[in-house]
């Protein structure tokens, strides 16, 4: 297995993290028209349909697919979309959700008995300092509820990572497509209950071609293109070569939000970003990670 990306594969990797990072702005645009839980349910509808008619179900247990679908759908994206509906800025959301790395490590320790290393403590301490800096600036692009919801989303992502890890070697595109079947009912049910048919109808009325393009960007671009190509890269190169590229996601998230939405970047945001990114870098670059993160928002 080669350890150096070819220039074409490097460009593909950058394209993936670009899509993942800018997706936070795309989410914000779609939320201007659609209620958050209904938007999340649409995301997974377009992941599942029509792909389920062309892609065979992966050879994993139904309970595993259910757990992944619920954790990624209801916990990760349900909580994330609610948070981004006025509770946290896109740039900060793209940064805070990277805390899933530390939740994933904790779950791996509980499930497989992996031991905590010294660099884990250093990495977590740096990231925690960054989180504290964000919390200290409540009301400046974030709120405690928004921060808490994105942390719930990060925990949901970590639970999904663990389910994907325990599924073994599977076709990742097929896995994501068929798991989406279990994301749709709870998201749609909660949308009907909490947001109501009137809000959903109003969302349809407000939706523009840009809104629907945003939904497709999330389902086809972010999920199907991103997951499939990332899994393909991981099959060709060591995880230590590919995984650190995910550090670019918050940079694209902040850049796109600042450029397209005018999100301000005061010094405290830069400092928080440096702290959290330093923590992630220590975790990813200290050694070859045993667990591979299988996707982004």
- Rounded CA gap, 270 and 44, in Å? 33
The 10 Å Cβ neighbour count of residue 4 is: 8
Give the integer Cα–Cα distance in Å for 190 and 78: 9
pLDDT at position 79 is 96
Contact call for residues 52 and 283 (beta carbons, < 8 A): no
What's the DSSP call for residue 181?
G
Query: Closest by alpha carbon to 243, among 17, 80, 72?
Result: 17
Confidence (pLDDT) at 291: 47
CB proximity list for 271: less than 8 A, separation 6 or greater? 130, 133
User: How much is the pTM?
Assistant: 0.86
> What is the DSSP-derived secondary structure letter of residue 88?
B
Closest CA to 63 of 154, 163, 159: 163
- Per-residue CA distances from 10 to 17, 227, 234, 249 (Å): 11, 16, 12, 15
* Residue among 131, 128, 112, 132 nearest 120 (CA): 128
For each of the chain's 297 residues, which pLDDT tens digit applies? 566 778 888 899 889 989 988 999 999 999 999 999 999 999 999 999 999 999 999 999 999 999 999 999 999 999 999 999 989 999 889 888 888 878 877 787 777 666 767 777 888 888 888 888 888 877 667 888 999 999 999 999 888 888 887 887 888 889 989 999 999 999 999 999 999 999 999 999 999 999 999 999 989 888 888 877 887 787 677 666 676 777 788 888 888 988 988 888 888 888 888 888 888 788 767 754 444 445 556
Q: Which two tokens stand for residue 260?
A: 């397209």
Token output for 202: 């109003």
Q: Which residues contact 194 (CB under 8 A, 6 or more apart)?
A: 37
Q: Look at residue 169 and give its three-state secondary structure.
A: coil
């Amino acid at each position: 297995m080669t350890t150096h990306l070819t220039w074409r594969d490097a460009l593909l990797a950058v394209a993936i993290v670009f899509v993942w990072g800018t997706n936070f702005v795309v989410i914000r645009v779609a939320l201007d028209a659609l209620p958050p839980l209904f938007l999340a349910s649409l995301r997974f509808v377009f992941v599942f349909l029509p792909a389920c008619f062309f892609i065979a179900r992966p050879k994993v247990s139904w309970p595993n697919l259910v757990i992944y679908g619920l954790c990624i759908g209801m916990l990760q994206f349900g909580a994330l979309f609610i948070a981004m509906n006025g509770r946290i800025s896109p740039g900060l959301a793209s940064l805070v959700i990277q805390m899933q790395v530390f939740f994933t490590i904790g779950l791996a320790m509980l499930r497989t008995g992996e031991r905590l290393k010294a660099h884990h403590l250093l990495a977590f301490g740096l990231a925690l300092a960054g989180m504290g800096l964000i919390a200290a600036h409540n009301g400046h692009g974030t709120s405690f509820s928004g921060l808490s919801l994105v942390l719930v989303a990060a925990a949901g992502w970590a639970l999904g990572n663990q389910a994907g890890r325990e599924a073994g070697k599977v076709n990742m595109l097929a896995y994501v497509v068929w798991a989406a079947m279990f994301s749709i009912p709870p998201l749609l049910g909660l949308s009907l209950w909490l947001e109501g048919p009137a809000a959903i109808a109003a969302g349809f009325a407000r939706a523009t071609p840009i809104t629907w393009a945003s939904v497709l960007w999330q389902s086809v671009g972010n999920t199907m293109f991103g997951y499939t190509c990332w899994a393909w890269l991981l099959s060709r190169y060591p995880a230590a070569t590919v995984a650190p590229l995910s550090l670019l996601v918050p940079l694209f998230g902040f850049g796109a939000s600042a450029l397209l939405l005018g999100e301000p970047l005061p010094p405290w945001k830069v400092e928080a970003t440096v702290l959290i990114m330093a923590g992630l870098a220590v975790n990813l670059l200290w050694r070859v990670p045993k667990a591979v993160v299988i996707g982004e928002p």
